[in-house]
Amino acid sequence: MTVHASIWTLDRVRLFGTTYLGTAIYHLTRLGRRADVLHAHHLYLDAVAALLAGRIRRVPVVAKMVGAGPGGDLDRLRQTTGGSLLLKLLRTLDVVIAPSPSCRVELLAAGFPAERIRVIANGVDTAAFRPEPTGGGAAPAGVDVGPVVVFTGRLIEAKGLLEFLEAWPLPLREVPRAHLVLVGDGTDREALCARARALGVAERVHLAGWVEDVVPFLWAADAFALPSHTEGMPNGALEAMATGLPCVATSVGAVAEVLDGGAGILVPPGHPSALAEALTGVLGHAGGATRLGAAARARIESRFTLEQMLAKYEVLYRSLSRKGTG
């Protein structure tokens, strides 16, 4: 991967968006002289910059919807100053990528033309994310022998981690040596630390912070938890499933589509005790957990591989580069 330029911004309320757009449009317009297609990986300011640069250079523009529901791409646009105008502009994109059918429905409801929406699911590198070949990774630092539940992702409100932490004492009643490992960083980090101390479970909750490679944490785990309030296509769950981890997740966004067919356990959003109860069952039933993990890996191999995703993008890019915008 080549990084061609960095985006310069002034992080001062409205000046951030203005400076971000200006810098991004400048760099993308320069790159557009050599590009066949411009692709923005976020249906937000990134896509607006790519769209304007693409129209200047007469290059087709693709943007991908990343987040869905409350706090997702469209929700952020609506809460942004001038968001209605930005949304009107983005409806003219040549193609909008929806990572799931539920995301496509949200785009249609927001007025995006059906003929410009393509559903392309996220894909996982199944060579990198695979079941641990020797039967178990090393436990993360500070975690003694005992079952491990892992979460990977941003530590933000939308992930539902604070509510889930309130329910974490429930599994500890049945599996007192269990550990919860949160891999990632975000605005809720300090609040999570404080709440774990207040609940008296700090010794059983570990915040690993941001890491370069999450695979060792997945290999060391016995289950994956996703307590989100909202999701687009959850890469963390896809990666965990590819390593053969049994997954327990809230049924939001595309999560139900990913865990379809017995590839995981779904619980209602906003009910952290239900998620905690399901995890207790997984941790206490080794045979069932193994079957869930195998089904998860099979689901990834059949529907969500990196190769499948790239093949669809290649077809799309080739069709757009032949058509152009002019």
Instruction: Name the phi and psi angles at 286, rounded to 5.
Output: -60, -40
Average pLDDT over residues 136-157: 78
- Considering the domain architecture, whether residues 108 and 157 belong to the same structural domain is answered as no
Instruction: Answer yes or no: is pLDDT of 95 > 70.
Output: yes
Instruction: Answer yes or no: is pLDDT of 15 > 80.
Output: no
Instruction: Give the pLDDT confidence of 240-278 residue by residue, as tens digits.
Output: 999 999 999 999 888 988 998 889 999 999 899 999 999
Overall domain count for the chain: 2
Is residue 119 situated within a structural domain?
yes
- Considering the domain architecture, whether residues 319 and 238 belong to the same structural domain is answered as no
Average pLDDT over residues 118-135: 90
Average pLDDT over residues 120-127: 96
Q: How confident is the model at residue 14 (pLDDT cuts 50, 70, 90)?
A: low
Instruction: Answer yes or no: is pLDDT of 116 > 70.
Output: yes
Amino acid at position 260, single letter? D
Q: Is the pLDDT higher at 141 or at 82? A: 82
- Considering the domain architecture, whether residues 179 and 222 belong to the same structural domain is answered as yes
Is residue 273 situated within a structural domain?
yes
- Considering the domain architecture, whether residues 186 and 164 belong to the same structural domain is answered as yes
- Considering the domain architecture, whether residues 248 and 311 belong to the same structural domain is answered as no
Instruction: Give the pLDDT confidence of 174-231 residue by residue, as tens digits.
Output: 999 999 999 999 999 999 999 999 999 999 999 999 999 999 999 999 999 999 998 8
- Considering the domain architecture, whether residues 215 and 271 belong to the same structural domain is answered as yes
- Considering the domain architecture, whether residues 299 and 319 belong to the same structural domain is answered as no
The 8-class DSSP code of residue 66 comes to -
Instruction: Give the pLDDT confidence of 268-324 residue by residue, as tens digits.
Output: 998 999 999 999 999 999 899 999 999 999 999 999 999 999 999 999 999 998 765
Instruction: Name the phi and psi angles at 132, rounded to 5.
Output: -60, 120
Amino acid at position 238, single letter? L
- Considering the domain architecture, whether residues 156 and 298 belong to the same structural domain is answered as yes
Instruction: Answer yes or no: is pLDDT of 233 > 70.
Output: yes
The pLDDT of residue 135: 52
186, with CB counted inside 10 A (0-12, 13-18, 19+), is middle
Amino acid at position 300, single letter? I
- Considering the domain architecture, whether residues 174 and 282 belong to the same structural domain is answered as yes
- Considering the domain architecture, whether residues 214 and 259 belong to the same structural domain is answered as yes
Is residue 223 situated within a structural domain?
yes
The pLDDT of residue 137: 56
Q: What pTM did the predictor assign?
A: 0.88
Average pLDDT over residues 157-164: 94
Q: What is the CATH number of the domain that holds 69?
A: 3.40.50.2000
Domain that holds residue 165: 148-303
Instruction: Give the pLDDT confidence of 39-93 residue by residue, as tens digits.
Output: 999 999 999 999 999 999 999 999 999 988 877 899 988 988 888 999 999 999 9
Is residue 131 situated within a structural domain?
no
The 8-class DSSP code of residue 138 comes to P
Structure tokens at 212: 């370069």
Q: Is the pLDDT higher at 274 or at 17? A: 274
Is residue 137 situated within a structural domain?
no
The pLDDT of residue 326: 47
3-state helix, strand, coil in the chain (%, to 5): 45, 15, 40
Give the CA radius of gyration of the chain.
21
Instruction: Answer yes or no: is pLDDT of 122 > 90.
Output: yes
Is residue 103 situated within a structural domain?
yes
The pLDDT of residue 320: 93
Q: How far apart are CA 320 and CA 131, in angstroms?
A: 37
- 3-class SS of residue 98: strand
Is residue 3 situated within a structural domain?
no
Is residue 128 situated within a structural domain?
no
- Considering the domain architecture, whether residues 155 and 118 belong to the same structural domain is answered as no
Q: Is the pLDDT higher at 14 or at 80? A: 80
- Considering the domain architecture, whether residues 187 and 299 belong to the same structural domain is answered as yes
- 3-class SS of residue 7: coil
CA distances from 83 to 44, 73, 181 (A): 9, 11, 37
Which strands make up the sheet holding 61-64, listed edge to edge? Answer: 38-40, 61-64, 95-98, 117-119
